Structure 1
């Protein structure tokens, strides 16, 4: 009995140490990122960085305006959300509630395979297939634009949204569904009025994680969006080349002198990305807790 207690204590200590290690590593990453990011503002105005409309790092004087990169990221992410969220939830509903057992067993592994495809493969597919297709169908000067980036990011976010939403829908107790059907509801009414509200916490978490995947993606958007640092309009901006924050870091970090103003500007962009992702996770957790509380109160 004492040996078992020692084993349990050792496992608890190991898990505690793992959690502390993860927090320490995250803290060190924050220090490393923000230390170099804040160094930019010793000689460059914070307002010029956040509100500047031009990103010309090699001009004299250099201009590090974040706005075209930030808006470009937002346009591409917004397009990805519009594409992936309705489709992802619809597929999750079909797999969980409507598909037969054999069909569901076939679709689930296919969705998981999509999640394992490297982003550079998605980018290559978009560059070779999607970009020329959009250019021909929409009669555009170039197919490398925000729309191509949105579609590719939406496809990449689909496995996360489908898998997590399907798990949330499947976890709804069967007794709740049977009770709704026994009261005379149709299958669609049961899905719409009973199953989806009960699974809303998990679905919202899936959507937010999908958004986080879209915000942080680099290689795919770098290959298909055209990488032009201009402020896109709306909605015509979807058909224009844009540059995202992640693509800017990937394209320029390997060529800048370490310790230069341009070097610190790229770290400042990374800091903005970190803060954006952090806020997204906080919002996801808030939504998840809110719906859990509301559902608990309703029961």
Structure 2
């Protein structure tokens, strides 16, 4: 009885903390629209972000579309770049050379997971940005630099989850394919990968969720210019970069502070959206299994 009570208390505490976080962020974020009178459509689709100034109609310029676009572009590009590398490493570790993968690659991947984000950002600032500046010109800061940094950051996560997805494919699937005369590569492509698609998609979405919410590393290399992205090599901004730069420089309760909480609410809703997608993919995979 005491064990059940203790377990229930822990679960209730976790639920209470989650509800409190949602309530706090939502109350602060929605104040932009209900207290400050900002038009939600203008906030979501406006292209001018300058909370300290007002436009001709007297409303604060808080168009967040450049920040939203920057976040989605850098996240999608990082996932596109990371997925082939993660698939290749996972196939090598599970199907081609499991022993080598277990002894050498797996410790390296685990090491990459544990590196702090500020280290990735510093490496991007001192290595990736100068290389992009030398090749493409300009400042070197922008979506391309952010893509490479996030690619390295999410690669271990996507690879680890993809390895788990491929290992979860029953061994008799492989044996049956080989017994029917399929080659090893045909078995990998037509049996193993197709059976592991739900887990692979979950890994990709999970990596995208991490990339979308990354703040410090992306802030160091993207340029933090709240402008609509025009190319991959011009400075841009994301929701997290503007949020982390501005939250300590505003006064609580002002419109400048409230709009930052609105950005935080957007990030929270996107995190919830990614989690829903992961659950739907997992449920679909379970039904197929």
> What is the TM-score normalised by the length of structure 2?
0.94
| Alignment partner, residue 272 of structure 2 | 278
SS in 1 for 2:102: helix
Is 2:226 the counterpart of 1:226? Answer: no
- Evaluate the alpha carbon distance shift between residue 12 and residue 180 of structure 1 in structure 2; reply closer, same or farther with a 3 A threshold: farther
Structure 2: distance between partners of 1:10 and 1:166: 39
Q: Say yes or no: does 1:39 pair with 2:25.
A: no
Q: 2: distance between equivalents of 1:102 and 1:46?
A: 54
Q: CA deviation at 1:239?
A: 1.8
Q: 1:199 aligns with which of 187, 196, 199?
A: 196
Matched, 1:49 2:43: yes
Aligned counterparts of 1:45 and 1:198: Cα–Cα separation in 2: 47
- Unpaired stretches in structure 2, ≥5 consecutive residues: none
> 1:31: Cα distance to partner?
0.6
Structure 1 vs Structure 2 CA RMSD: 1.4
Q: Structure 1's 10 and 176: CA in aligned 2 closer, same or farther, altered over 3 A?
A: farther
For 2:84 and 2:100, how far apart are their aligned partners in 1? 24
8 Å contact 1:157–1:210 — kept in the other structure? yes
Partner residue, 1:155: 152
8 Å CA contact 1:222–1:247 kept in 2: the answer is yes
Helix, strand or coil: the match of 2:53?
Answer: coil
| Alignment correspondent of 1:75 | 73
> Contact between 1:126 and 1:148, CA under 8 Å: does it hold in 2?
yes
Aligned to 1:257: 251
Q: Residue 238 of structure 1 aligns to a residue in which SS? A: coil
Task: For residue 19 of structure 1, report the CA deviation from its aligned partner.
Answer: 2.1
Q: For residue 112 of structure 1, what is the aligned residue in structure 2? A: 110
3-state SS in 2 of match to 1:184? coil
Q: Is the 8 A contact 2:218 2:241 kept in 1?
A: yes
Kept in 2: contact 1:48–1:64 (CA 8 A) = yes
Larger mean CA deviation between 33-42 and 117-126 belongs to 33-42
Query: How big is each residue's C-alpha offset from its partner over 1:21-49, in whole Å with a ceiling of 9 and x where there is no partner?
Result: 21111100011001011111122221221
Distance 1:176 1:11 in 2: 42
Aligned to 2:143: 146
Q: Deviations over 1:136-163 (max 9, x none)?
A: 122x211111011011111111111111
CA-to-aligned-CA distance 1:136-192 (integer Å, 9 cap, x gap): 122x21111101101111111111111111011112222221111111111111111
Rounded to whole Å, the distance in 2 between the matches of 1:192 and 1:102 is 21
- Quick one: structure 1 residues 16 and 192, their matched pair in 2 at CA, closer, same or farther if it must change by over 3 Å? farther
CA shift, 1:100, in A, is 4.7
| Count of residue pairs the alignment pairs up | 283
1:209 equivalent in alignment to 2:206? yes
Once the two structures are superposed, the pairs formed by residues 239-258 of structure 1 within 5 Å of their partners are: 239-258=233-252
Structure 1 match to 2:15: 23
Where structure 1 has 5 or more consecutive residues not aligned to the other structure, the ranges are 1-8
SS at match of 1:57: strand
CA-CA distance at 1:103 after TM superposition: 4.2
How far apart, CA to CA, are the structure 1 residues paired with 2:80 and 2:204?
11
